[in-house]
Amino acid sequence: MKKFGFLVSIILMTLAVGAFGENAQAEETTNKPITMAYYRTWRDVTMPHDANSNLPDNNVIAMTDLPDGLDIVSLFHYVKPGTNESKFWQTVKDVYVPTLHQRGTKVIKTVDISEIYNVPSVGSMPSQVEYDLYAQALIDKHLTPYNLDGLDIDMESYLSAAQEEKATNMFKYLNQKLKQDESKLLIYDTNKDNHTLFTKIANYVDYLFIQAYGRSPQSLDKTWSTYKNVIPSTKFVPGITFPEEQDQNRWYDAYEPFATSNAYLYAKWQPKDGPKGGMFIYAVDRDGKKYGDDSITKTDFSWTNRIIDNVKN
């Protein structure tokens, strides 16, 4: 009996070690840093050149041109009223999403916080049924027709108490619906330090994207310190921007030499409390452009590829 008990103990220990290894591997995979890019839809080759511009140049970039190493691409969408966007959305459905999915890249869509809190309701505050119906309506509108992988909520506003309450409830209902499929994403992006809305919805989101454009890398420590008590470091994802055409901002995030740029320094920066969740890029189609260059041209994505390499290695 003692020998039998010893053998049982060995078997159980082996199984436990194996299970621990599998769990550790799963956790390691989950916590690998991601790279993400905002894709400005009005600059896609299938869009009219004047969809959101008064420049004469034709659009030349397609989503399939993006580097394979990106984990997530978000459709950052705005066009002038009356723009014919049907060719773009058909291409998203038939070509772009299937191709990026084959690469292992998820495709999501960015929506403004106002679309989240503007919940249709009979009374002054929505009922649970109205929240539930609106959450499904947003998914049916933005994700389902194109087989997209989640929503990115852009929060740069100051909300009233009522708007904040509605937004909080909507994050809850969106999380419940999206997480019926564990691969779906719900992301919060902002240019703010921690604030009351985020503290209420932190548990509902997969990542926090911080628009840290033009900041010093040291400022990321301060911003992270405001969030570290509500999310793990692996959800914290700072981002830079490339120079947009006709933009008067001068963020200088992607300014040569690469080794002294915010693009590189953010890629290498880590919170003191653990590894960051990754890094994102806004206006990825403007990779390699200099401030004041308003021409619309193709890119070899050399900055994006270097950022990917430095985030992941």
Q: What are phi and psi of 273, to 5 degrees?
A: -100, 5
| Distance between CA atoms of residues 186 and 286, nearest Å | 26
User: Quick one: tokens of 161?
Assistant: 């108490």
Q: Which amino acid is at 73?
A: V
Rounded to whole angstroms, what are the CA distances from 134 to 30, 166, 173, 177, 308?
30, 11, 9, 11, 36
| Distance between CA atoms of residues 192 and 54, nearest Å | 31
Decide: 253 and 288 in contact? Cβ < 8 Å. Answer: no
**123-131 contacts at long range (C-beta below 8 A, 24 or more positions apart):** 124/162, 125/162, 125/165, 125/166, 126/166, 126/169, 131/169, 131/170, 131/172, 131/173
Catalytic residues: 156
Distance of CA 129 to the CA centre of its chain: 29
**101-104 contacts at long range (C-beta below 8 A, 24 or more positions apart):** 101/147, 103/68, 104/71
| Distance between CA atoms of residues 152 and 116, nearest Å | 11
- Burial class of 247 by CB neighbour count within 10 A (0 to 12, 13 to 18, 19+): middle
DSSP of 46-57, one letter per residue?
Answer: TS-TTSS----P
